[in-house]
């Protein structure tokens, strides 16, 4: 029963190790993608700001300047968010993953102690089945003496795992809950700031008060004018 219980928790801890490593990897990918996104947005706004149209159209220049400012603010807040997630989520995940090698080694030591115990127990049983002659009794006594410390060693290692492995497994919620709460707070702060930034940007560039549908029709009309030019007409 004790062995089966320890095996169940060992299996659960194995799953926990895999899930922790996967979550750590996914969180790193997520933050890297976040940073790449905001850096790309800054690059795009900078390219638009350097567009020759900005030299010719004051309204376009003002819009692109507002966009560039917004993208740089977004990038700054995004960097703060990523730094916060790194400290409160990714680093704790990495530290937690670092515990599993020691846990796995303890299980391997218990398994080795079990094999030694079984081997010597089998040796004792073999002498117990033989005829009780003087030499056999001497060997039986020696085998029992050899078995005693090995049995005690196994029982100690097994008890340690039975006591500590469930505690380790059940402590995962208390360990991770602060990290996940910090992740949620970081996201809330970030998206709250994004709402402010893009609301301000909308107020700055949406001077004409056009709807998206009107803008789309306007763009299509301009495109039709361009297609009507002989230099871009289809052959």
63 neighbors 78 (Cβ within 8 angstroms): no
pLDDT single digits (tens) 186-197: 999 999 999 999
Contact 92, 175 (CB under 8 A): yes
How much is the pLDDT for 57? 82
Domain spans of the chain? 2-98+172-232, 106-170
pLDDT surpasses 80 at 169: yes
Q: What tokens does 198 get?
A: 């893009």
Q: What percent of the chain lies above the pLDDT cut of 90?
A: 63
Task: Please answer whether residues 81 and 189 qualify as being in contact, where contact means their C-beta atoms are separated by less than 8 angstroms.
Answer: yes
Give pLDDT tens digits for 90-123. Answer: 999 999 999 999 999 999 999 999 999 999 999 9
Alpha-carbon span 107 to 226, nearest angstrom: 73
Lookup: tokens for 215? 């803008």
Nearby residues of 209 by Cβ (< 8 Å), 6 or more positions away: none
Strands in the chain per DSSP E: none
Contact between residue 65 and residue 58 where contact means Cβ atoms under 8 Å apart: no
pLDDT(3) > 60: no
SS3 at position 109: helix
> What does the alpha-carbon distance between residue 156 and residue 21 come to, in Å, rounded to a whole number?
30
DSSP designation for 50: T
Q: Using CA atoms, how far apart are residues 65 and 200, in angstroms rounded to an integer? A: 13
**What are the φ/ψ torsions at residue 207 (nearest 5 degrees)?**
-75, -30
Q: What is the pLDDT of residues 130-167, one digit of tens each?
A: 888 898 898 989 999 999 999 999 999 999 998 999 89
């Amino acid at each position: 029963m004790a062995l089966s219980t320890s095996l169940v928790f060992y299996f659960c801890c194995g799953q926990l190790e895999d899930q922790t490593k996967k979550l750590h990897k996914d969180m790193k990918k997520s933050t890297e993608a976040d940073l790449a996104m905001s850096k790309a947005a800054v690059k795009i706004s900078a390219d638009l700001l350097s567009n020759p149209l900005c030299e010719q159209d004051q309204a376009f220049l003002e819009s692109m300047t507002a966009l560039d400012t917004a993208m740089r603010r977004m990038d700054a807040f995004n960097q703060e968010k990523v730094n916060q997630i790194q400290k409160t989520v990714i680093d704790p995940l990495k530290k937690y993953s670092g515990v599993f090698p020691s846990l796995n080694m303890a299980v391997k030591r218990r398994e080795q102690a079990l094999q030694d115990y079984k081997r010597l127990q089998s040796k004792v049983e073999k002498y117990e089945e033989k005829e009780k002659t003087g030499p056999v009794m001497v060997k039986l006594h020696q085998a029992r003496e050899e078995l005693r410390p090995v049995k005690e060693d196994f029982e100690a290692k097994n008890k340690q795992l039975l006591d500590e492995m469930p505690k380790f497994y059940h402590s995962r919620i208390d360990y991770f809950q602060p990290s996940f709460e910090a992740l949620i707070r970081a996201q809330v702060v970030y998206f709250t700031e994004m709402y402010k930034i893009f609301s301000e940007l909308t107020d700055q560039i949406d001077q004409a008060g056009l709807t998206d549908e009107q803008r789309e029709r306007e763009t299509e009309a301009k495109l039709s004018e361009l297609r009507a030019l002989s230099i871009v007409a289809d052959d």
